[in-house]
Chains A and B, each alone.
Chain A
Amino acid sequence: MAPKDRKYAKTHEWVKIENNEAIVGITDHAQDSLGDITFIELPSIGAKLKKSGECGVIESVKAASDLYSPISGTVVEVNEALETTPEDVNNDPYEKGWIFKLNNIDQSEMANLMDADEYEKFLETEE
Chain B
Amino acid sequence: MSFSDIFGVNYSITFNLISSIYADFMKKTILFDKHSSLNAKISPFGGYLMPMQYEGIIKEHEATRNASSIFDTCHMGEFLISGPDSIDDLENLLSCSVASIKTGQCRYGFLCNQNGGVIDDQIIYRMDDHKFFMVVNASTESTDFQWIKEHISASTSLINLSSQTAKLDLQGPASAKIMQKLMKETIADLKFYHFKHNFYGNEQVLISRTGYTGEIGFEIYLSPESALKFWDDSINLGAVPAGLGARDTLRLEMGFPLYGHELNEDTNASESNFCKSIANKKFIGSDAVLDPSARKKILKGITLEGRRAARHGDKILSTDHKEIGFITSGSFSPSLQCAVAMGYVLSSFAVEQNSVVVKTDRGELTGKITETPFYKKATGRDNLANYL
- By a beta-carbon cutoff of 8 Å, the part of chain A in contact with chain B is 11-13, 26, 29-30, 33-36, 38-39, 41, 57-59, 61-68, 86-87, 90, 126-127
Query: Known: A61-B331, A65-B3, A68-B1. Contact between A39 and B307, CB under 8 A?
Result: yes
Q: Is B2 touching A66 in the complex (CB atoms < 8 A)?
A: yes
Give me the 7 closest cross-chain CB pairs, A-B, nearest first.
A65-B3, A38-B332, A39-B307, A36-B58, A61-B57, A63-B5, A62-B5
Whether B362 is near chain A, meaning CB under 8 Å from some CB there, is: yes
Closest chain-B Cβ to A66's Cβ sits at a distance in Å of: 6
Contact of A66 among B1, B41, B306 (CB under 8 A): B1
> B332 contacts which chain A residues (CB < 8 A)?
38-39, 59, 61
Closest chain-B Cβ to A127's Cβ sits at a distance in Å of: 5
Contact of B11 among A34, A57, A127 (CB under 8 A): A34
Interface string of B309-343 (1 = CB under 8 A from A): 10100000000000000000001101000010000
Interface string of B282-319 (1 = CB under 8 A from A): 00000000000000000000000011110100000000
Cβ-closest chain B residue relative to A36: B58
Distance in angstroms between the alpha carbons of A58 and B308 in the assembled complex: 9
Closest chain-B Cβ to A109's Cβ sits at a distance in Å of: 18
Can you name 10 A-B pairs with beta carbons within 8 Å?
Answer: A33-B11, A35-B11, A36-B59, A39-B307, A39-B309, A59-B332, A61-B249, A62-B52, A64-B309, A87-B58
Q: Is A63 touching B2 in the complex (CB atoms < 8 A)?
A: no
Interface string of B11-24 (1 = CB under 8 A from A): 11110110000000
- By a beta-carbon cutoff of 8 Å, the part of chain B in contact with chain A is 1-6, 11-14, 16-17, 41, 52-53, 56-59, 245, 249, 306-309, 311, 331-332, 334, 339, 361-362
Cβ-closest chain A residue relative to B362: A57
Closest chain-A Cβ to B40's Cβ sits at a distance in Å of: 12
> B11 contacts which chain A residues (CB < 8 A)?
33-35, 62-63
Q: Is A63 touching B3 in the complex (CB atoms < 8 A)?
A: yes
Closest chain-A Cβ to B127's Cβ sits at a distance in Å of: 37
Q: Is B245 touching A35 in the complex (CB atoms < 8 A)?
A: yes
Closest chain-B Cβ to A94's Cβ sits at a distance in Å of: 15
Closest chain-B Cβ to A122's Cβ sits at a distance in Å of: 12
Distance in angstroms between the alpha carbons of A30 and B332 in the assembled complex: 19
> A30 contacts which chain B residues (CB < 8 A)?
1
> B6 contacts which chain A residues (CB < 8 A)?
62-63
Distance in angstroms between the alpha carbons of A61 and B3 in the assembled complex: 12
Q: Is A67 touching B1 in the complex (CB atoms < 8 A)?
A: yes
Q: Is A11 touching B362 in the complex (CB atoms < 8 A)?
A: no
Q: Is A59 touching B309 in the complex (CB atoms < 8 A)?
A: yes
Q: Is A61 touching B245 in the complex (CB atoms < 8 A)?
A: yes
Contact of A35 among B13, B53, B334 (CB under 8 A): B53
Distance in angstroms between the alpha carbons of A33 and B10 in the assembled complex: 9
Contact of A11 among B1, B16, B52, B308 (CB under 8 A): B1
Closest chain-B Cβ to A61's Cβ sits at a distance in Å of: 4
Contact of B3 among A41, A64, A127 (CB under 8 A): A64
Further 12 A-B residue pairs, CB within 8 A, beyond A38-B339, A126-B12: A11-B1, A33-B11, A35-B11, A36-B58, A38-B332, A39-B306, A58-B3, A59-B308, A59-B332, A62-B53, A62-B331, A63-B5
Distance in angstroms between the alpha carbons of A36 and B11 in the assembled complex: 13
Distance in angstroms between the alpha carbons of A58 and B332 in the assembled complex: 13
Contact of A62 among B2, B12, B57, B339 (CB under 8 A): B57
Cβ-closest chain A residue relative to B246: A61
Distance in angstroms between the alpha carbons of A61 and B334 in the assembled complex: 9
Cβ-closest chain B residue relative to A68: B1
Query: Known: A12-B1, A34-B3, A66-B1. Contact between A61 and B58, CB under 8 A?
Result: yes
> B16 contacts which chain A residues (CB < 8 A)?
127
Closest chain-A Cβ to B219's Cβ sits at a distance in Å of: 24
Distance in angstroms between the alpha carbons of A34 and B59 in the assembled complex: 15
> B13 contacts which chain A residues (CB < 8 A)?
127
> B306 contacts which chain A residues (CB < 8 A)?
39
Distance in angstroms between the alpha carbons of A76 and B307 in the assembled complex: 25
Q: Is A38 touching B1 in the complex (CB atoms < 8 A)?
A: no
> B57 contacts which chain A residues (CB < 8 A)?
35-36, 61-62
Closest chain-B Cβ to A34's Cβ sits at a distance in Å of: 6
